[in-house]
Amino acid sequence: MIELIGVYKNFGEKEVLRNVGMTIRKGEIFTLIGPSGTGKSTILRLINLLDVPTEGEIFFEGIDTSGPEKTRLQLRRRMSMVFQKPAALRGDVFDNIAAPLRFRKVPVEDIRKRVPEALELVGLSGYESRKASTLSGGEMQRVAIARAVVTRPEVLLLDEPTANLDPVSTEKVENLVHTINSRFGTTIILSTHDMDQGQRLAHRIAVVLSRTIGQTGTAHEIFYQPRNRDVAHMVGVENILEGMVKNNEEGLTIIDIEGYDIAATSDCPTGSRVTAYIRPEDLVLSTAEFPGSSLRNRFLGRITKVVAMGPMVKVRIDCGIRLISVITKRSFDELEIEEGGSVHVYFKASAVHVVRID
Amino acid sequence: MNDIIEGFTQAFQLIVTLNPEVMGITIRSLFISLSATFLASIIAIPLGGLIHFREFGGKKGLITVIQALYALPTVLAGLFVFLLISRSGPFGFLGLMFTPTGMIFGQMVLIIPLMIGMTLIALSGVRKNIQDTIVSLGADEFQSILTIIKEARFAILGGVILGFGRAISEVGAAMIIGGNIRGYTRILTTAIALETSQGNLPLSIALGLILLFIALIVTTILFLVQER
């Protein structure tokens, strides 16, 4: 549906995007995840043909978008974008939602029919004559979405659609994104800095890190098989260990990390240097010796730090190698452990994602 | 001192009795300046839009020239139009010299730069995200310009009112082009200049008060518009 090839974007001297490449498929929800200021908005603006890439190509259904403004306008009219802070045009809600239809010279009778339909979709029926300036942030966001979908776009671009919203409004907007995608088959590209939201909404995710795409894949691939240290860090993989493969027998790999052995599953050959990624939720803590057999990795360590994070607790353990575990507050309380105490750490070989260092 | 009090008393009489000469001059003044303002708006606002939205070489220089012309001396505007429309000028055949139409022309020359400048300021006051929104919603270039002008309409209207204020209060161009012909091209400012020099103070004061009143109304409207 949309393809970016080797896209660079500079604003004056400043490089904002570097060699961005990705393909968005028809009908999918595609999420750009990354911290603020990494270029997510710029990518969306380029796709919406509001800006022109400094270098590289963007194709919309195979059509080169670097053509004359007339072509760009025709393509732009097949998409809609909702900005992070939606701007209201002068006039009431009806005028705002009717604006894109008027630009497309849709007949007045159709406009009268389609505006209430769009408002109903976003759950704001009867808001037609409200002044846009009297709307709350969440209402304005939904009006902006109504304004975007009223044209029945093939592609809907959403820039941080819930960044400024309370949890209730956030849930409404997320449900709406699902509804629009499943009911109309609209291809949706949205940016967010919220990992969980990316996981909840997206069919596929692109991790945007410092001006380029770190990795593209399904949520599972991104969260459990990060391609490099930066992506791993971004998606909350706290245990990133470097070592050497000592032995590999039919996929069961033994990695030497600072003199300690870790069992993992991989196809990296003996002698190769690797990075091992372990999600903190995959570490099991216990005060007693654990007889279970599927947990190949067993360490005894000292708790160096305990940090409460809402319903979860982050526990740092020094087992010779330093590990970080995240467990629920409830299990933490049941374990009766504290800083300075000792604890057993267990994890499966399959919980270790191994990436070869070239 | 008595002359002044006497002058004001007679001036009030001229106004409240709706003296035909005073009313004639006032209506002519309003007609000429309103026409000039209206026609100048039709030219200046779209032109301001075009300058704002188009990127071209020398854009900054052009804007600087326009800003410098805010302070164009009225007699120079008069002289410029005089050179164009006097009998030997390129548009002499139109016979616009010493006519109200010629005066409208002169006032337009005077206020168009100011109104283009005010339009530019008004349009750059429309936030970037509004402009992005309009383009993103699928507006073509013409629709974008129109919608953004609509967004900035109060600020632009402020520029129009300012232009009218300058037109109705100028004397140089009206004098040079109109020639202050009684009952034909005599307007508030040229009449005040003439009557004062002839010592007809009550008429001058009456016309002055009316001019002041118009200026007051203009400022009030401007204030109300900017409050929006």
Q: Which residues of A touch B138 (CB under 8 A)?
A: 73, 76-77, 100, 103-104, 151
Instruction: Inform me whether the C-beta atom of residue B197 falls under 8 Å from chain A C-beta atoms.
Output: no
Instruction: Inform me whether the C-beta atom of residue B54 falls under 8 Å from chain A C-beta atoms.
Output: no
B156-166 confidence digits (pLDDT tens): 988 999 999 99
Asked whether residue A293 carries a pLDDT value surpassing 70, the answer given is: no
Quick one: closest CA in A to B137, which residue? A100
Higher pLDDT, A205 or A250: A205
Q: What is the pLDDT of residue A77?
A: 95
With cut-offs at 50, 70 and 90, classify the pLDDT of residue A138.
confident
Residue A22 CA neighbour count, 13 Å, CB half: 26
B187 within 8 A of B25, measured Cβ to Cβ: yes
Q: Which residues of A touch B134 (CB under 8 A)?
A: 89, 99
Higher pLDDT, A138 or B186: B186
Instruction: Inform me whether the C-beta atom of residue A83 falls under 8 Å from chain B C-beta atoms.
Output: yes
Quick one: closest CA in A to B146, which residue? A103
Instruction: Inform me whether the C-beta atom of residue A73 falls under 8 Å from chain B C-beta atoms.
Output: yes
Q: What is the mean pLDDT of chain A?
A: 90
Q: What is the pLDDT of residue B228?
A: 64
Q: What is the pLDDT of residue A119?
A: 94
User: Among partner residues B127, B130, B143, which is closest to A103 by beta-carbon distance?
Assistant: B143
Query: Which residues on neighbouring strands pair with residue A131, listed in sequence order?
Result: A92
- What is the average pLDDT across A123-150? 91
Domains of chain A: 2-233 (3.40.50.300), 237-356 (2.40.50.100)
Instruction: Inform me whether the C-beta atom of residue B146 falls under 8 Å from chain A C-beta atoms.
Output: no
One-character DSSP codes across B145-202: HHHHHHHTHHHHHHHHHHHHHHHHH--HHIIIIITT-TTTT--HHHHHHHHHHTT-HH
Q: Quickly list H helices, chain A.
A: 40-47, 69-76, 93-103, 108-121, 137-149, 167-184, 195-201, 219-224, 229-234, 329-335
With cut-offs at 50, 70 and 90, classify the pLDDT of residue B110.
very high
Contact: B138, A151; criterion CB under 8 Å: yes
Torsion of CA A324, A330, A335, A337, to 10 degrees: 60
State percent of chain A over pLDDT 90: 58
Asked whether residue B28 carries a pLDDT value surpassing 80, the answer given is: yes
Cα A164 from Cα B154, distance rounded (Å): 30
Contact: B130, A48; criterion CB under 8 Å: no
With cut-offs at 50, 70 and 90, classify the pLDDT of residue A292.
low
Quick one: closest CA in B to A78, which residue? B138
User: Among partner residues B127, B138, B140, which is closest to A87 by beta-carbon distance?
Assistant: B127
Instruction: Inform me whether the C-beta atom of residue A104 falls under 8 Å from chain B C-beta atoms.
Output: yes
Q: Which residues of A touch B135 (CB under 8 A)?
A: 50, 76
Instruction: Inform me whether the C-beta atom of residue A85 falls under 8 Å from chain B C-beta atoms.
Output: yes
- Tokens 């139109």 sit at which residue? B94
Q: What is the pLDDT of residue B141?
A: 87
Q: Which residues of A touch B136 (CB under 8 A)?
A: 48, 50, 76, 80-81, 83
